[in-house]
């Protein structure tokens, strides 16, 4: 029997990200596809949120949140390490991971749910997956989730008619960035996978390479990315030694760092300010796109606190290298601001803590709506 049981969904961004890492590290695991019932009875009480992936070790230890989980896995299973050993590469990789998880999320949700053809197909897939073994008809579950995802992650995340085309363009833009990096190497930092491959795998695998509309575009315009997605999924078949990784000096990384400093970090900063002042929504212009009524998200304030904390913890020598590489992007100016006090703690552990009692009323509410986007882990 596998030592780990991974609660996941076959269409999920972060489940695909974690599975990519487990496969790359040759860690065996049992897949448990979630239903609302499994989420409520197992995942929620043991992790505190109804999100996937969640991991249960055979001795009953529960882990969640793919970002700290990847650190935990590399520490627990040092073979085929994904996190670069050298702190300079590790810091820049973590920066890119955070950007992929949180800032590539909107265009990935957009390409899934914004057009009726793709949204109907995904609704049907999700409906079938989530209704398996339940009394609910798959079509009703699919319709419910299609509407829910559109409400929360499109309209509720600043997508409107005026910015529709600009948000759509973010995906072909990302394809062009990765296509340029993959022109010279098999993986994003060299000849073997590492954290930045796993990070980009989040949006690129379950959403862009597998949803019909973006998959057609990837195959037609970015064949190297198409091949890299498959290569990464299959990389357990490749032997590798932990050879040195590239040092991010390739200018092909420049547009990614430019977007991080020009759009994502200003957004993270405004999000943290909104939370600190008790605002539930804020408007912002990031990367030249106007987003109205963005929700203030506590988890993302913790992402910023984590980046600031990690930056402050670098040695002077490593920080000087990071500063030199990121000069002119605006990134370090945001990272140098102090880590705020209070309950916006850096994200430091994947361990889920003791099981929680979930009352009947809360259980009923969560059954129909899921935990809110921003429920604390
Ligand atoms: N930060 C978490 C995010 C996990 C997450 O948001 N998972 C999505 C699926 S890709 C989910 O379960 N969403 C549930 C919902 O929308 O209610 C991680 O990295 O694992």
- Check residue 354 and give its pLDDT: 84
- Check residue 373 and give its pLDDT: 75
Helix axes 212-221, 116-131, angle to 10 degrees: 120
The answer, yes or no, to whether any atom of ligand 1 lies below 6 A from the CB of 12, is yes
The answer, yes or no, to whether any atom of ligand 1 lies below 6 A from the CB of 67, is yes
d(CA 216, CA 178): 17
Give yes or no for a contact between 55 and 5, defined as CB atoms under 8 angstroms apart. yes
Tokens of 209: 């390479």
Ligand 1 center from residue 51 Cα (angstroms): 5
- Check residue 366 and give its pLDDT: 78
The answer, yes or no, to whether any atom of ligand 1 lies below 6 A from the CB of 65, is yes
The answer, yes or no, to whether any atom of ligand 1 lies below 6 A from the CB of 214, is no
Give yes or no for a contact between 178 and 204, defined as CB atoms under 8 angstroms apart. yes
The answer, yes or no, to whether any atom of ligand 1 lies below 6 A from the CB of 248, is no
The residue length of the chain stands at 377
220: nearest Cα among 207, 232, 208: 208
What is the atom index within ligand 1 of the atom nearest the CA of 15? Answer: 10
The answer, yes or no, to whether any atom of ligand 1 lies below 6 A from the CB of 260, is no
Residue owning the nearest CA to atom 6 of ligand 1 = 51
Structural domains of the chain in order of their starting residue, each with its CATH number: 4-65+350-369 (3.40.30.10), 87-114+154-335 (1.20.1050.10)
Residue owning the nearest CA to atom 17 of ligand 1 = 370
The answer, yes or no, to whether any atom of ligand 1 lies below 6 A from the CB of 105, is no
The answer, yes or no, to whether any atom of ligand 1 lies below 6 A from the CB of 370, is yes
- Apex CA 225: angle with CA 223 and CA 229, to 5°? 120
Give yes or no for a contact between 247 and 89, defined as CB atoms under 8 angstroms apart. yes
What is the atom index within ligand 1 of the atom nearest the CA of 16? Answer: 10
The per-residue DSSP string of 74-128 comes to HHH--TT--S-SSHHHHHHHHHHHHHHHHTSHHHHHHHHHSSHHHHHHHHHHHHH
Ligand 1 center from residue 360 Cα (angstroms): 23
- Check residue 376 and give its pLDDT: 58
Per residue of the chain (377 residues), give pLDDT as tens.
789 999 999 999 999 999 999 999 999 999 999 998 899 999 999 999 999 999 999 999 999 999 999 999 999 999 999 999 999 999 999 999 999 999 999 999 999 999 999 999 999 999 999 998 889 999 999 999 999 999 999 999 999 999 999 999 999 999 999 999 999 999 999 999 999 999 999 999 999 999 999 999 999 999 999 999 999 999 999 999 888 899 999 999 999 999 999 999 999 999 999 999 999 999 999 999 999 999 999 999 999 999 999 999 999 999 999 999 999 999 999 999 877 777 799 999 999 988 888 887 877 777 777 777 776 54
- Report how far apart, in Å, the C-alpha atoms of 305 and of each of 223, 269, 364 are: 37, 10, 33
d(CA 188, CA 194): 8
Ligand 1 center from residue 361 Cα (angstroms): 23
- Check residue 320 and give its pLDDT: 98
d(CA 352, CA 64): 6
d(CA 272, CA 340): 9
Ligand 1 center from residue 246 Cα (angstroms): 30
Tokens of 341: 């006090």
Residue owning the nearest CA to atom 16 of ligand 1 = 373
Ligand 1 center from residue 185 Cα (angstroms): 31
């Amino acid at each position: 029997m596998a030592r780990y049981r991974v609660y996941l969904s076959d269409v999920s961004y972060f489940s695909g990200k974690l599975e990519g890492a487990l496969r790359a590290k040759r860690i065996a695991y049992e897949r448990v596809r979630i239903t609302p019932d499994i989420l409520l009875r197992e995942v929620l009480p043991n992790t505190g949120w109804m999100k996937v992936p969640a991991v249960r070790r055979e001795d009953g230890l529960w882990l969640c949140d793919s970002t700290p989980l990847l650190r935990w896995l590399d520490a627990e299973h040092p073979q085929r390490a994904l996190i670069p050993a050298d702190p300079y590469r590790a810091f820049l990789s973590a920066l890119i991971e955070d950007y992929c998880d949180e800032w590539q999320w909107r265009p990935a949700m957009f390409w899934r749910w914004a057009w009726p053809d793709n949204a109907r197909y995904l609704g049907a897939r999700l409906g079938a997956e989530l209704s398996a073994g339940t009394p609910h008809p798959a079509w009703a579950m699919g319709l419910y989730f299609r509407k829910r995802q559109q409400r929360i992650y499109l309209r509720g995340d600043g997508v409107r008619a005026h910015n529709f085309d600009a948000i759509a363009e973010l995906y072909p833009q990302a394809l062009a960035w990765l296509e340029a990096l993959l022109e010279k190497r098999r993986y994003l930092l060299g000849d073997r996978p590492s954290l930045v491959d796993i990070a980009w795998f989040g949006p690129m695998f379950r959403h862009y390479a597998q949803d019909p509309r973006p998959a057609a575009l990837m195959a037609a315009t970015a064949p190297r990315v198409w091949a890299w997605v498959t290569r990464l999924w299959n990389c357990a078949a490749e032997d590798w030694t932990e050879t040195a990784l590239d040092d991010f000096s390739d200018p092909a990384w420049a547009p990614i760092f430019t977007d991080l400093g020009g759009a994502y970090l200003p957004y993270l900063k405004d999000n943290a300010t909104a939370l600190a002042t008790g605002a539930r929504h804020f408007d912002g212009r990031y990367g030249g796109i106007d987003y109205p009524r963005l929700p203030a998200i506590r988890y993302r304030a913790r992402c910023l606190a984590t980046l600031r904390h990690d930056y402050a913890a670098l040695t002077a020598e490593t920080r000087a290298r990071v500063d030199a590489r990121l000069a002119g992007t605006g990134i370090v100016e945001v990272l140098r601001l102090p880590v705020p006090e209070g309950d916006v703690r850096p994200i430091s552990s994947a361990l889920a803590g003791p099981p929680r009692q979930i009352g009947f009323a809360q259980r009923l509410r969560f059954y129909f709506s899921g935990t809110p986007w921003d429920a604390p882990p």
